[in-house]
Structure 1
Amino acid sequence: MNGLSERCSGRSTFGFVRAVLIFGLLTPLLCSAENGEALREEVERLQQRVEALEEEAVKAERAADLGLSASESTVAEADEPGGVHVGGAVRFNLVHRDFVQASEDKYGESGLDVFRLNVDGEVEGILVSAEYRFYSYMHTLHHGWIGYEFEDNSQFQFGIHRVPFGLLPYPAHNAWFGVPYYVGLGDDYDMGVKYERTDGAWNTQLAFYKNEELNDATDPERYSFDLIRSGEQQNEEVNQLNARLAYTVGQGTACETELGASAQLGEVYNTATGGRGEQWAGAAHLDSRCGRWNLQLKGVSYQYDPANPQGQGQAPMQVGAFGGTYDIAGEADILVANLAYSVPSPWKSVDSITCYNDYSRLYKASRALDSRINTLGCAIGSGPLFTYVDYILANNMPYFGNGSLAGNGESEWHSRFNINIGFYW
């Protein structure tokens, strides 16, 4: 109610100011009978200016209703047909890691997280979206695709785009993500074609990916995790099919719940043997948004059956991204349980505050020590600024001591306190 009364009050004030402006600017013209034509032109000019101002006010209200920051609202406007928006972001990290002695000794570290450039929009009916990222230690294409939207609002995409699997767009609320991302089953991008359509409460996505996004399985300098060829590990992803079907209960109400299932089936090509093995994954998910609450649940099972040389065995599998590689279990189950709450902002300068607790766990078929990660934090939007404040606890996870997603690493829990500050345009 407070937001509604503020918006209504804003409209009344805007109308009063408009009347004063028009009266003040037209008074000199009204004093001269010779200026009839000038008066008409001035009225038209002022009317156009007033309409432009009202349009900006409506856009601002729309962004506020959707809980968007100014930067997110600008990007959303680029989705309107007939133009291309060039934007980007620069993000910085302030970090304290209890498992790194230098970080302990210095009471934390800071540095550039990423600088990125984005292109999104439509030119002569053809959709385009691309993003290139620069890190301090590498640079890579995040995604890049062209597409077409049909009259029924279904869409076709060709190029490097997000794989339709599980919770979308992200299986977490925080900046660090969780287990699905680090095994290549969350926010993953590959090279292929995708078709998506929505029929009422139903959403269907079908895709085929010829290979991973860079068409170079020896290069770990990439954004999303894929199989990487290195040493004895000579496997890469090829010929992958994905299907995702979701239904939204209570669509259009204040309490919407998406229920969905995903399937993935592909081949694993081994350059040492020339053979093609198989890999598959399946997932069921729930994404409920009721009022200010958001509950995300997901269960995943996956398995690799590569055509390795005789005597090498079937597991583990090697994946890589961000310039590094590590092994993951060749067969495992994943559990995801995330809960978030959108806090009413007590400050005019803060557009949104979302606090969350994200938890995910990897259960290895080998019965080795599970891998777990839990993140408690808040995301804060203020105009072009967007900040994550996260306290991350991880057990037997990569990037946290000697954790391993493939087997028994270390049983000790490690923490990372991370503040990620980004400016978007």
Structure 2
Amino acid sequence: MVRICLLLTLLLVSSICQAQAPEEKPEEKPYLKLGGAVRFNYNLSTWKEDQLERGGDFGFDLFRINAEAEYKGIKLNAEFRHYSQAFGGSFLKQGWFQHDFSDQSQVQVGLQQVPFGIQQYNSNNWFFNITYYVGFEDDHDMGVKYIHDSGRWQWQAAYYKSAEEFVFALTDPSPNRYSYDVTGRNKENNQLNFKGMRRLGDSLAHELGISLQGGLLYNLDTERNGTRYAGAIHYEHKAIDSPWNFKLQAMLYRFHPKYAAASDPGFIEMGAYGANYNVASKGEIYTASIAYHIPLDTRLVQSIDIYNNYGFYHKRIRGYENTHMDVLGALFTAGPMYIYTDAAFGYNQPWLGPEWTNALAAGTPDDTKWHMRFNINMGYYF
């Protein structure tokens, strides 16, 4: 009888312990995804007589590595790029840590895209639009960003301590970077961004947005902070069930650096890809883009996107020539390859004409012409 009671007691204690024991959670495994791209480029520029004689140039564009990771609720997104030394060499395009508070909200810390205007790109082509060349398209800076997206509404708020900072010293910022930032004797710092966007229609295909940006410019000569600000409104139409894509954006910006007394030249220096040029300190930019997607049922080519992207840059400095840029082209998707074929036309555009240093500042008032660069960029993405 005693043995039976002991046995029943042990069975009862065992069942109680099992009922009270917490359920074992499956072990969380780290996630890692690696990818990248290799790209080559052909171009033929109308203002380069030697290039016209040899029928253009074909060479290396970039090699890049992408990494996405997640472990214990913390995500990582990074992209490292390698160009030739003439285009800045090797640098980090983006790299941030991310935590998702919910399916609708997240925070990103590190080198990430600035919430301004149409994202991810205010263009469809390989050259981007004129907004990129003055630092307002696919710009990446160092800071913290909060994103809330409920479907119909999206809000982004961000603080950036600096642009792509590579040298922690009072020296000219390096132009070896992906996105255009203020360089020369001024440094971007303490920037605030706010962007709100509303999606309309049953399919949420219509997007209306407003963007605000403000920050400081530290001058290395006077050791004083100037100011800068920008604003934009935009509309984009993109729908899964429609082949059309439309982008419209209007923006203005003002830079007020603290130069030495009576030495304001009316422009600032900006840099990327290993070189600086001058940009008007005040201006407005208007852009319009249209694209049409053609799906194909072939083994080699799966789709063609035809597009035209136009940008007008109105400089608010007396005597400065305005800038125009227009890119007509097509994107061919062939398995893992993306092939951009562009005819890019520029009027006072440093990448699309013979004038580099002052094309986006005073321009060349006495000898301004339209120039064209025919470009084919072939990339294998893995």
Q: Same fold (TM over 0.5)?
A: yes
State the 1:150 CA deviation. Answer: 1.2
After TM superposition, the score normalised by the length of structure 2 is: 0.86
Equivalent in the alignment of 2:76: 128
8 Å contact from structure 1 (residues 306, 314) kept in 2: no
Distance 1:301 1:121, change over 3 A: same
Q: Does 1:259 align with 2:211?
A: no
Deviates more, 1:410-419 or 1:348-357: 348-357
Matched pairs, number: 339
From 230, 237, 252, give the equivalent of 1:301: 252
**For 1:222, which of 177, 183, 187 is the aligned residue?**
177
Q: Measure the CA separation in 1 of the matches of 2:275 and 2:112.
A: 22
Structure 1 moving runs of 4+ over 4 Å: none
Q: 1:347 to 1:378 in 2, by over 3 A?
A: same
SS at match of 1:307: coil
Deviations 1:108-137 (A, max 9, x none): 101111100010132221110011111111
Matches within 5 A, 1:22-33: none
- The aligned residue for residue 65 of structure 2 is 117
In the other structure, the counterpart of 1:280 is 229
TM-score by length of 1: 0.78
2:151 corresponds to which letter in structure 1?
A: G
Deviations 1:288-327 (A, max 9, x none): 1251100000001000111111121162010000000000
1:154 aligns with 105
Percent identity, please: 37
For residue 110 of structure 1, what is the amino acid of its counterpart? F
Who is 2:333 aligned against?
381
Letter paired with 1:160: L
Q: Does 1:414 align with 2:366?
A: no
5 Å-filtered alignment, 1:11-410, equals 83-137=31-85, 138-216=89-167, 217-229=172-184, 234-252=185-203, 256-290=205-239, 291-313=242-264, 315-367=266-318, 368-399=320-351, 400-402=353-355, 404-409=359-364, 410=367
CA contact (8 A) 2:192 2:214 kept: yes
Contact 2:295-2:302 at 8 Å conserved across structures: no
The CA distance in 1 between the partners of 2:339 and 2:69, in whole Å, is: 26
User: Does the Cα contact within 8 Å between 2:285 and 2:313 map onto a contact in 1?
Assistant: yes
**Aligned mates of 1:173, 1:90 — CA distance in 2:** 20
CA distance in 2, matches of 1:102, 1:247: 50
**Deviation per residue, 1:116-173 (Å, 9 max, x gap):** 0010132221110011111111111101111101124311000000000000000110
Query: In structure 1, what residue type is equivalent to 2:347?
Result: N
Tell me the CA shift for residue 214 of structure 1. Answer: 2.2
What is the Cα-based RMSD across aligned positions, in Å? 1.4
State the Cα distance separating 1:188 from its structure 2 match.
0.4
The verdict on how the C-alpha distance between 1:251 and 1:150 changes in structure 2, with shifts beyond 3 A counting, is farther
CA contact (8 A) 1:305 1:314 kept: no
AA aligned to 2:350 is P
Secondary structure (helix, strand or coil) at the match of 1:105 reads helix
Q: Residue 86 of structure 1 contacts residue 120 of structure 1 at CA under 8 Å; is this kept in 2?
A: yes
Q: Give the distance between the partners of 1:355 and 1:397, measured in 2 at CA.
A: 23
Instruction: Check the 8 A contact 2:104/2:150 in 1, yes or no.
Output: no
Q: Which residue of 1 aligns with 2:24?
A: none
State the AA in 2 paired with 1:401: P
2:154 alignment partner AA: N
Distance in 2 (CA, whole Å) between partners of 1:107 and 1:117 is: 32
Secondary structure of 1:176 counterpart:
coil
Structure 2: gaps spanning 5 or more residues: 1-28
Could you say which residue in structure 2 is the equivalent of 1:52?
A: none
Q: Give the structure with the higher percent strand.
A: 2
Please, which moves more after superposition, 184-193 or 365-374?
365-374
Where 1:165 maps in the other structure, the secondary structure is coil
